[in-house]
Each structure stands twice: as structure tokens, then as C-alpha cells.
Amino acid sequence: MSKLVIVESPAKAKTIKKYLGGDYEVVASMGHIRDLPKSKLGVDVENDFEPQYVNIRDKSDLIKSLTKQAKKSEQVFLATDPDREGEAISWHLAHILDLDLNEPNRVTFNEITKSGIESGMNSPRKIDMELVNAQQARRILDRLVGYKLSPFLWKKVRKGLSAGRVQSVAVRLIVDREEEIRAFVSKEYWSISAELLAKSSKKAFEAKLHSVSGEKIELNTKEETDKILSEINKSDFTVAGIKKSVRRKSPAAPFITSTLQQEASRRLGFQSRRTMKAAQELYEGIEIASLGAVGLITYMRTDSLRISDEARNAAYDYIGKKYGEKYIPEKPNTYRSKRNTQDAHEAIRPTVIDLTPDEIKDSLSSDQYRLYKLIWERFMASQMAKAQLNTVSVDINVGDCGFKASGYSVKFDGFTVLYEEAKDDPDENNNVLPDLEVGQVLKVKSINGNQHFTQPPARYSEATLIKALEENGIGRPSTYAPTITTIISRNYVEREEKRLKPTVLGEVTTQLMKDHFKQIVNVAFTAKLEDSLDAVGEGKTEWVDTLHSFYDDFDKTLTKAEEAMEGKRVKIPDEETDVVCELCGRNMVIKLGRFGRFLACPGFPECKNTKKIVTEADGNCPLCGSKIHEKKSKKGRKSYGCGSYPDCNFMTWDTPIEEKCPQCDSTLFKKGGKNAKIHCLKPDCGFEKAAD
């Protein structure tokens, strides 16, 4: 008889089977097989929140197959993902397969490699009921909020709406930011800068006015600025002081889930869902030429910065051979994890250091390669020596006015030879200064008074929203991607130029929640609740007590809200556009229907004109020259078609780009995947080239 190992996905099963050999059967549960029912609350709130789990309907054949295989197996190992959700799936499997919860039949793999699988199989344990209860508490809490609040929103705002413990706070953050932007009053201010030349150099450097008569100066008007400029023009620019030092720049820590999502958004333009999909594939195993299926990264849902000694030593070996011994730090770089970190896993890192991105590029899809390259480079850089920068700060006097200039040059590139973290707001000053001496008079190339206006805070991008959620303790790493997907799919939030903007529906719903359910959308309260749920997983708190502490007040709040809103309904104001109704000349408005947003004439019922909302893409149709429109399939996949449809039926999955074809001047398209390329789709042209 063989031993049975149950994992969550077929890809993972295939990779693990390769290492375990013929004595084991490895099968996939395809995620959860048991859950709360969809058609009702499924939680007995009068009986300590007892959950009423049911087998997932479309998993009945799979459950029969797993049960049959388990009965004829010598032993069953539950090898679902090494986190709360995976622990709960194993617990549900144990119930369905009638396994003894006191038996050591639970195994976990931090990485899907030979050593990772051997380590996991050699250390079976009992199912961790504290982790299971932590997952149950979260699942039940989310069910209570969703199933109790959503019907309230249906009655008071619109049918089909939903509320969520994490999603409602995420929407509030985006709405609050939009209100900040609207309330922002821009203020004028001025600065003075000079382009200066030293005798020893032909390249000018910039210095900025810092003080007048030893006091820091703020310029608010052109008149103030012109007055100082007139004084400056009477005197020479003289070097008053020079301060030189060496600054050490540390590498960024290896990735955790949230920082991976942020960096992939900033650097690759990936949405969080896209990042996690590619990361899951890299973890579960990729067919590598000559090696077979290999799990390329460690588990991708983690908030720990811990690195194993084995991985660090492997990195040092590679760094020493590739870059030289001076690129290995004298003592290991250390990174401090945030509070409440679940330290069961390492940080996200490559499992086999010697499998460089370029070596295995041909075995990876475009997304897999780009994300693996990011993870590999970030981890390697995190284990390298610090960069050293020669910094110079110069004080320059002009009469009573003091100017400052600063800059740096690279003394030792260290980790930056490989990788530097992208920034949301890059502000690094690389103003290389010439050799200067105290008392030296500088030649003036130009002096300028510069007008500025203060800017409102920027809307959240996916990266900055994830950062805000993490910093405020809202949700956990595994929830960020599905939360963002949900609030967009439910039309509470929309993307505008890669930024997240609340819809009218999102603003109206958030205001209603602020008025009647303050705690649900309160950032501090939600963060405290997250801590309570974490305490369940650590065995510090009973999960039923945690649910009572939340639900008892929540139920009273819901009753009060229903009484206060008796007979009332919130009207969603129409969002006017600049699209003119061709039938009656009114500006059309955006409405939300069963199939999403659409344009409608505000003159209804006199004018019943409606239109689809069209998103124009870059470029023009290669067949007829009309504008290209972006479209989405039911599953959310983007396609591109001619705006003159049905007169022209051009359609492609490839993305149009701004670049024109050098042969025929038509719009070029970028094809993704393993064989990514840029090509022309105009008939009889045939131009193509490799994608960058």
C-alpha cells in the first residue's frame, strides 16, 4: 500500500510527486472542500457561533475520490499550504476523511524543493487547532459582517451591494484621501536657485537659498523673491564652508508579501492579484529544462524577514564568486520584522540561488520571469555589503544670504551593483560637486526665482494603499490582493491612470457606514480587532470570546441603524460626463446596472438613450485607422478592438503601444507570454521584434 499526500493544487502535487517517488500518491484538494453555506448565514449566533459547514457542492466527485484513496492508503499526510488557511483546509480534510486529529498527519513545506520536502516529511505533527480556530474566527467574523450588513445596504442604498470587515476600511481610506484632495487649498511659494561654476570645472552645479541673516527663509510672493534677487546680484558667491563625510546605504530587506506586492506594482506595473498568481506558480513548481518541476521560491504568504543560515551561506558563495569577497558584508545584514509577525516562514527568497533568472528565462512565462528576477535580485542584494557614498555639503555666502549645495559620489557600489528599491516619491539628490575650497569665489551662470504651488496628496496606487493597510494594521498579507480586487469589482473604487479613485457609490456607502457603523470603518478599531484575531492563533485568546466581544455590540448597532433609517433610502447622485447625448443634447451621466457602469441620458423617460462606457487605448486600428477600444471579457481579461465595430471587426488580445511600425507607420502591439514580442498587425507588413 502506498502513502497518500494531499496538497491544494495539481501543480504543487506534480512537483512534490517528483521528489517523493513511487511509495507515495500525491493528489490535490483544489483548495477548500468544506465551507459555510452560500445560501444562509451558516453560523449559530445563539450557540457560541457554532459554524454549520457544508461540503462544497461542485467538490462531491473529488471528495468521493479522496475518501476512496484515503481508505486504501497506508497513511495519509495533509500537506496543504503552511498558513492559517492551509491549516483549516487540512482540518476540514481530516473531518471528511475521518482522520484522527491526535495523529501526526500534518506536514508543511516552506519550499517545494528536495530538502524542503524531506524536512517537511520528516517532521509530521498534529493539526494546530490554534491556527484552525484563528481561521475560523476570521471566517465567521467576515461572514457575520457581510451577511448582516449587506442586506442593510440593499434596503438603504442599492441591491447587490456588499460590506466587508477589511474592504469597508480600505474604501474609507480611499474616500478620505479623495476628500483631502478636494479640500486642499493650493498655496503659492517661491525659491531661489543658482547655477554656479568653479574654476576647476566646466559643469555647473546647483545651490539653493537657505537663509537670510542667519535665519531660515520662506518666500511667499514674487515681490519678496525679487527683493532678495536684487540684493544677491550685488555680491559674489563665496564658499564659506565644506563638510565631507561617508554615508553608508543599506540594502532593502528581502521581500515579505506586502513589500513584494508594492515593489511589483511600482517596478513592473503588476496589480496585486497578478503578482500573487505568478508567485503562487513559482512556489508550487515550474518545469525547468533538464531539471523537471522545481519550486523556485519559498512560500509567498509571509510577514517574516527571517532567513535560514543555509540560504544566507549559499548567497554568500554566489556573491563571492560573481562580484568578489568585498561585496560580502563583514557581518550578516539584519532586518527587524514588525510587531505581530507570524514567524513560521522565512522571507520570500529563491530556493536555489544558482538558478539565476537569465538561466531559466526560457522555461518561464513573461510574468513568472519578471517576478522571479525581482525576488532573486532583491534577496541577493539584501545579503550584500552596504554601498558607500562620499557626501559633500557646501555653504555658500552671498552678502547676507546663505546658499547650500550638496551632492554625492559613489565610493563603493556594494549592493547597488545589482538592485535598488524603487520609490513612490524619488528624491535622491545626485548633484555631483566639483572640488571646492573655502574662500573660493564662484562664477554665476544663472540665478532664478522659481514659483511653486503646494500640491494635494496623491490618490492611492495599489502599492501605496497596501503600504497604508499594512502600516495601519488592517488585514493581513494574504488579504490585500483579494480586498483590492473586491472593492473594484463591486464598483466602490475605480482605477484612473493607475490610481485608485472612489466612485459616487463608494462615497455614498462610506458616508452611510460612517454615520451608522463607525467601528466597522474605524481604522484603529479594525487594527485592534486584527490583533485580537492574531491572539487566537497564538493561543492567547479563545476564538468564541473574540467573536462575542465584537458581535454583541455590532448586533445592537445594526438594530439602532435599522431603526434610524426606517422608511429612508439613500439616493446615489448621478455622475455627469462630458459625453453629449446625440438625441437631445444633454450631458450624459454614469449609471450602474446589472452588467456594470453605462452612460444614460438624464432626460429619462423622455429620452431613453444609453451607451457603453468606452475606454480608448493607445494607437489606431491596423485595418481601418479608427481608434482602438479596450474591452474586458467576463473573466476580466483585456482585449482590444476597433472602435468602428461592427463595420470593422478587428480584435486582438495583444496590447497596443505608442510606438509606430518602422515599416508601415501603423500601431505596434505587444504580445506577452514565453515568446513575448512586439509586432505589427497590419496585413502584409510582418514586422516584429523581441520585447524588452
pLDDT class of 261 with cuts at 50, 70, 90: very high
Please answer whether residues 158 and 472 qualify as being in contact, where contact means their C-beta atoms are separated by less than 8 angstroms: no
How far, rounded to the nearest angstrom, does the alpha carbon of residue 556 sit from its chain's CA centroid? 36
pLDDT class of 75 with cuts at 50, 70, 90: very high
Q: Looking at residue 424, what is its pLDDT? A: 65
The rounded mean pLDDT for the chain is 91
pLDDT class of 61 with cuts at 50, 70, 90: very high
Q: How many CA atoms lie within 13 A of 448 on its CB side?
A: 10
Q: Which residues contact 208 (CB under 8 A, 6 or more apart)?
A: 191, 192, 193, 194, 403, 404, 405
- Secondary structure (3-state) at 506: helix
Please answer whether residues 474 and 169 qualify as being in contact, where contact means their C-beta atoms are separated by less than 8 angstroms: yes
Rg, Å, the chain Cα set = 30
Phi and psi for 530 in degrees, rounded to 5? Answer: -60, -45
Per-residue pLDDT, averaged over 522-528, amounts to 91
Q: Closest by alpha carbon to 520, among 40, 159, 258, 150?
A: 150
pLDDT class of 329 with cuts at 50, 70, 90: very high
Q: Looking at residue 635, what is its pLDDT? A: 59
User: What distance in Å separates the CA atoms of residue 565 and residue 667, rounded to the nearest whole number?
Assistant: 55
The residues annotated as belonging to the active site are 299
Per-residue pLDDT tens digits for 607-658: 989 988 878 888 899 999 899 998 876 656 788 999 888 889 899 999 999 8
Q: Looking at residue 428, what is its pLDDT? A: 53
Per-residue pLDDT tens digits for 107-147: 999 999 888 999 999 999 999 999 999 999 999 999 999 99
Q: Which residues pair with 677 in a beta bridge?
A: 671, 690
How many Cβ atoms sit within 10 Å of the Cβ of residue 270?
23
Q: Looking at residue 2, what is its pLDDT? A: 86
CB burial readout 561-580, b (16+ within 10 A) else e: beeebeeeeeebeeeeeeee
Measured distance between the N- and C-terminal CA atoms of the chain, rounded to whole angstroms: 52
Grid cell at residue 453: 504651488
Q: Looking at residue 324, what is its pLDDT? A: 96
Please answer whether residues 302 and 256 qualify as being in contact, where contact means their C-beta atoms are separated by less than 8 angstroms: yes
Grid cell at residue 93: 480534510
Please, is 311 exposed, middle or buried when counting C-beta atoms within 10 Å of its C-beta (0-12, 13-18, 19+)?
A: buried
Please answer whether residues 457 and 176 qualify as being in contact, where contact means their C-beta atoms are separated by less than 8 angstroms: no
pLDDT class of 538 with cuts at 50, 70, 90: confident
Q: Closest by alpha carbon to 291, among 5, 12, 11, 18?
A: 18
Domains in the chain with CATH codes:
3-127 (3.40.50.140), 136-183+458-564 (1.10.460.10), 188-250+387-453 (2.70.20.10), 257-382 (1.10.290.10), 575-690 (no CATH)
Residue with grid cell 439616493, as numbered in its chain: 571
Q: Which residues contact 40 (CB under 8 A, 6 or more apart)?
A: none
- Secondary structure (3-state) at 46: coil
Per-residue pLDDT tens digits for 19-58: 998 889 999 999 999 999 988 999 999 999 999 999 998 9
High-pLDDT (> 70) share of the chain, %: 96
Q: Looking at residue 340, what is its pLDDT? A: 54
Residue with grid cell 481601418, as numbered in its chain: 624
High-pLDDT (> 90) share of the chain, %: 72
Q: Closest by alpha carbon to 116, among 347, 256, 342, 295?
A: 295
Q: Which residues contact 81 (CB under 8 A, 6 or more apart)?
A: 8, 89, 108, 299, 301
pTM, rounded to two decimals: 0.83
CB burial readout 53-72, b (16+ within 10 A) else e: beebeebeebbeebeebbee
* 197-201, 455-459, 668-672: range with highest mean pLDDT: 455-459
For the chain, how long is the longest CA-to-CA vector? 97
DSSP state, residue 251: P
Phi and psi for 488 in degrees, rounded to 5? Answer: -80, -45
pLDDT class of 427 with cuts at 50, 70, 90: low
DSSP state, residue 296: -
- Secondary structure (3-state) at 96: helix
Q: Looking at residue 645, what is its pLDDT? A: 83
User: What distance in Å separates the CA atoms of residue 686 and residue 656, rounded to the nearest whole number?
Assistant: 16
Q: Which residues pair with 255 in a beta bridge?
A: 348
pLDDT class of 486 with cuts at 50, 70, 90: very high
Per-residue pLDDT tens digits for 440-464: 999 999 999 999 999 999 999 999 9
Q: Which residues pair with 246 in a beta bridge?
A: 390
